[in-house]
């Protein structure tokens, strides 16, 4: 798909159903996170939960991705591959990125969870990243532009001295997991104000914020992106729908 789509009320309701399943899956997986659990176990539980509740994992097999969720620990920004060899330790943080398809429509969201006793600076990073999402989402109203979302995310992160990842961005979403437009978290002078927003557009807004540099490196597995300086990274994402004077999060568990 290479064009932006405006969803009808009926299509948005289908996305609300898919989004609710993603939200509930993240809640369930979050309840399982503890010292000693493997990321492989979390992936197995997530897939079973999605399928048991009438969905299919969006990520499994997507461009060859081998799992149903992404599990990115500490300095891993996104796309960490679940593994039997990776067991969570006290003081870790872990980003769980989850997608599900229901009735042909996708939901996509991510949360960063704390494992045990996490140091204060990393706890603050996780909370500010969550705040960055809401700062950006507040701009997802008709008449604004993509750059308004990006500027709000970037400004809040920079206020705290954090690095805003540039190599990875949010995206449109619907019957495809990744649709136009791209939704960056930083101001890009090359695109100016970017795409104008209209009611019915559905976007995955996903701040990826680093305690240190904004630069990232790609692992040999071809998927896992980590901070270039080894500093912690946090990720917070929701699927939202643009409205005339507001926005709605479609990946709330209760939607």
Provide the residue-wise pLDDT of the chain in tens; the chain has 255 residues: 468 999 999 999 999 999 999 999 999 999 999 999 999 999 999 999 999 999 999 999 999 999 999 999 999 999 999 999 999 999 999 999 999 999 999 999 999 999 999 999 999 999 999 999 999 999 999 999 999 999 999 999 999 999 999 999 999 999 999 999 999 999 976 667 889 999 999 999 999 999 999 999 999 999 999 999 999 999 999 999 999 999 999 999 985
3-class state of residue 124 by DSSP: helix
Q: What is the pTM of this model?
A: 0.97
pLDDT value of residue 67: 98
Q: Partners of 209 in the beta sheet?
A: 164, 234
What fold is seen in the domain 9-249? Answer: Creatine Amidinohydrolase (3.90.230)
The continuous run of DSSP H or E covering 202 comes out as: strand 202-205
pLDDT value of residue 191: 66
Query: Which of left, alpha, beta for 67 (phi over 0: left; psi -120 to 50: alpha)?
Result: beta
pLDDT value of residue 189: 60
CB proximity list for 216: less than 8 A, separation 6 or greater: 77, 165, 167, 168, 225, 226, 227, 228
| Angle CA 203–11–2, to nearest 5 | 50
> Could you give the CA distance from residue 187 to residue 63 in angstroms, rounded to a whole number?
28
Q: Partners of 95 in the beta sheet?
A: 72, 112
* Domain ranges for the chain: 9-249
Structure tokens at 250: 């479609």
3-class state of residue 53 by DSSP: coil
> Could you give the CA distance from residue 211 to residue 213 in angstroms, rounded to a whole number?
7
Q: Is the dihedral of CA 119, 130, 54, 101 positive or negative?
A: negative
CB proximity list for 35: less than 8 A, separation 6 or greater: 88, 89, 90, 115, 116
The continuous run of DSSP H or E covering 98 comes out as: strand 93-102
């Amino acid at each position: 798909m290479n064009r932006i789509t405006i969803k009808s009320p009926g299509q948005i309701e289908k996305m609300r159903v898919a989004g609710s399943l993603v939200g509930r899956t993240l809640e369930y997986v979050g309840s399982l996170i503890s010292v000693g659990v493997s990321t492989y176990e979390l992936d197995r539980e997530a897939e079973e939960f999605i399928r048991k509740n009438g969905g299919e994992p969006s990520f499994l097999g997507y461009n060859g991705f081998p799992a149903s969720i992404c599990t990115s620990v500490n300095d891993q920004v996104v796309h960490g591959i679940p593994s039997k060899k990776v067991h969570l330790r006290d003081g870790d943080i872990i980003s769980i990125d989850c997608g599900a398809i229901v009735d042909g429509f996708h939901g996509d969201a991510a949360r960063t969870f704390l494992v045990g006793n996490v140091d204060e600076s990393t706890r603050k990073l996780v909370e500010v990243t969550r705040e960055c999402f809401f700062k950006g989402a507040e701009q997802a109203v008709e008449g604004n532009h993509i750059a308004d979302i990006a500027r709000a995310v970037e400004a809040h992160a920079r206020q705290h001295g954090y690095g805003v990842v540039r190599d990875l961005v949010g995206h449109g979403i619907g019957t495809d997991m990744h649709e136009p437009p791209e939704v960056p978290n930083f101001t890009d002078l090359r695109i100016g104000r970017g795409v104008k927003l209209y009611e019915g557009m559905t976007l995955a807004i996903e701040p990826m914020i680093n305690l240190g540099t904004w630069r990232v490196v790609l692992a040999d597995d071809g998927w896992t992106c980590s901070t270039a300086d080894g500093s912690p990274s946090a990720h917070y994402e929701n699927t939202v729908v643009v409205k005339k004077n507001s926005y709605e999060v479609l990946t709330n568990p209760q939607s």
